A = this chain, B = another copy of it.
Amino acid sequence: MIYESIRIDFNSDEAIYMQLRNQIILGIATSRIQEGDALPSVRQLAGMIGINMHTVNKAYSVLRQEGILSIDRRRGAVIRIDADKLYALEELKEDLQVLLAKAFCKNIEKKEIFQLVEEIYDSYQVSDL
């Protein structure tokens, strides 16, 4: 993955460590990061992006807690896609409930949502062919 491509919006109301976490997850989904890959060290990535070491560390910690990163002392931070789908599904459902409720308020039809999901999810699928 080209870590220089990571862009942080410092004017955003979203926390930097959350933006970083999201971009890493997106990087995995788009296969720019692959399972087993080692991420840069917290100091390296912090230097690349231009933020503090602890901010990167927090993003890694969140990803580790979510079961996406596995931080090995010798290999560094490694992508680990395991299968704790049970909790992930529960979490996804709660997030979708709020998201779809607003979509419903905006008169966005189910067909349009299906199209969106299809479009986005397929863009993740194709990339590891």
Report which A residues bind B (CB closer than 8 A).
Answer: 22, 25-26, 28-30, 66-68, 81, 83-85, 88-89, 92-93, 95-108, 110, 112-114, 116-118, 120-121, 124-125
Quote the shortest CB–CB distance from A7 to chain B (angstroms).
14
Complex Cα gap A99–B103 (Å): 15
Contact B105 A29 (CB under 8 A): yes
Q: Which of B88, B92, B99 contacts A92 (CB 8 A)?
A: B99
Best-buried of A22, A81, A117 by chain B (most CB within 10 Å): A117
Number of copies: 2
Quote the shortest CB–CB distance from A120 to chain B (angstroms).
5
Residues in B with CB closer than 8 Å to A97 are: 26, 120
Residues in B with CB closer than 8 Å to A108 are: 85, 88-89, 92
A29 to chain B: closest residue by CB: B101
Contact A84 B98 (CB under 8 A): no
Best-buried of A25, A114, A118 by chain B (most CB within 10 Å): A25
